[in-house]
């Protein structure tokens, strides 16, 4: 089997490599991007945000997102090549990674047009940073144990519960959050996906500091967290739930 680049792929690899060599600031390079995937302090975060904005302006963010949503419309092999060159250059994980890799594609597929207009450009340009509110003390890989509850109040939800191992929550502007909205449903059902403004009253973020001093993870507590639409933002019937009048994911 021949693993060599095709001429087209070689040209793309060369383009990526040249651009990174010309534009990546040496001061933000890292030896282990995975270990340092969350910035250790606010100063480093701001430098990485500036870097993501530079990349976005040059068309290197949201590489495989459709062009109509601000992406480049790149194919799978182009993404693989870009990732290889990005790691080779010792570039840091982008501060918007959760939004770019997890939330953004979900919004593109399931979100309302309002949600897409509101969030997708900000995700690409690192104007909004997101964290992932899935894991709980008793619910890791199996969401059947999910206990965080959300009660529907018509135009908003009120959330109570706890998340844990939430990477970057201390820097995040928003959280995409899994909550139980139908406690009577089978345990793998009755779960909804909410977009929650981290400035909503009732949210507390507490650090989980590792032995090496790194602060990647956090506990996040929700106590009577809710408010007007746009704080605990309700996915509409044709929004993130993906089906009419059914809150199940």
Say if residue 84 is in the same domain as residue 134: no
> Domain for residue 67, yes or no?
yes
> Domain for residue 111, yes or no?
no
The shares of helix, strand and coil residues in the chain, as percent rounded to the nearest 5, are 35, 20, 50
| Position 227 confidence tier, pLDDT thresholds 50, 70, 90 | low
Rounded Cα–Cα distance for residues 117 and 129 (Å):
16
> Domain for residue 84, yes or no?
yes
Q: Which of 34-38, 87-91, 111-115 has the highest mean pLDDT?
A: 87-91
Say if residue 83 is in the same domain as residue 142: no
| Position 230 confidence tier, pLDDT thresholds 50, 70, 90 | very low
Counting residues of the chain whose pLDDT is more than 90, the rounded percentage is 77
> Domain for residue 2, yes or no?
no
Question: Which domain covers residue 47, as residue numbers?
Answer: 7-95
**Model pLDDT for residues 5-18, shown as the tens digit of each residue:** 999 999 999 999 99
Nearest Cα to 130, choosing from 112, 107, 113, 147? 107
Say if residue 91 is in the same domain as residue 134: no
CATH, residue 14: 1.10.540.10
Say if residue 83 is in the same domain as residue 135: no
| Position 140 confidence tier, pLDDT thresholds 50, 70, 90 | confident
Say if residue 82 is in the same domain as residue 141: no
pTM for this entry: 0.87
pLDDT at 236: 30
**Model pLDDT for residues 39-68, shown as the tens digit of each residue:** 999 999 999 999 999 999 999 999 999 999
| Position 134 confidence tier, pLDDT thresholds 50, 70, 90 | very high
pLDDT at 154: 83
Sign of CA pseudo-dihedral 37, 43, 47, 49: positive
CATH, residue 179: 2.40.110.10
**Model pLDDT for residues 170-187, shown as the tens digit of each residue:** 999 999 999 999 999 998
Q: How many domains does the chain have?
A: 2
> Domain for residue 246, yes or no?
no
Say if residue 144 is in the same domain as residue 221: yes
pLDDT at 72: 95
């Amino acid at each position: 089997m021949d693993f060599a680049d095709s001429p087209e792929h070689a040209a793309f690899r060369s383009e990526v490599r040249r651009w990174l060599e010309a534009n990546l600031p040496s001061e933000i390079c890292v030896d282990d991007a995975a270990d340092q995937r969350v910035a250790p302090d606010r100063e480093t975060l701001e430098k990485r945000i500036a870097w993501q904005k530079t990349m976005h302006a040059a068309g290197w963010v949201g590489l495989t997102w459709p062009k109509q949503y601000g992406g480049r419309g790149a194919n799978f092999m182009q993404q693989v090549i870009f990732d290889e060159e990005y790691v080779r250059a010792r570039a840091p994980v982008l501060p918007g990674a959760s939004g770019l890799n997890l939330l953004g594609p979900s919004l593109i597929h399931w979100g309302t047009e309002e949600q897409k207009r509101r969030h997708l450009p900000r995700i690409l340009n690192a104007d909004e940073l997101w964290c992932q509110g899935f894991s709980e003390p008793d619910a890791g890989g199996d969401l059947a144990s999910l206990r965080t509850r959300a009660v529907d109040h018509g135009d908003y939800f009120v959330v109570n519960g706890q998340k844990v191992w939430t990477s970057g929550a201390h820097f995040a502007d928003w959280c995409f959050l899994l909550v139980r909205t139908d406690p009577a449903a089978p345990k793998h059902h009755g779960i909804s996906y909410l977009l929650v403004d981290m400035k909503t009253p009732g949210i507390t973020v507490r650090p989980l500091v590792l032995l090496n001093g790194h602060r990647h993870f956090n506990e996040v507590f929700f106590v009577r967290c809710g408010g007007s639409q746009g704080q605990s933002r309700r996915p509409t019937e044709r929004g993130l739930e993906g089906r009419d009048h059914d809150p199940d994911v």
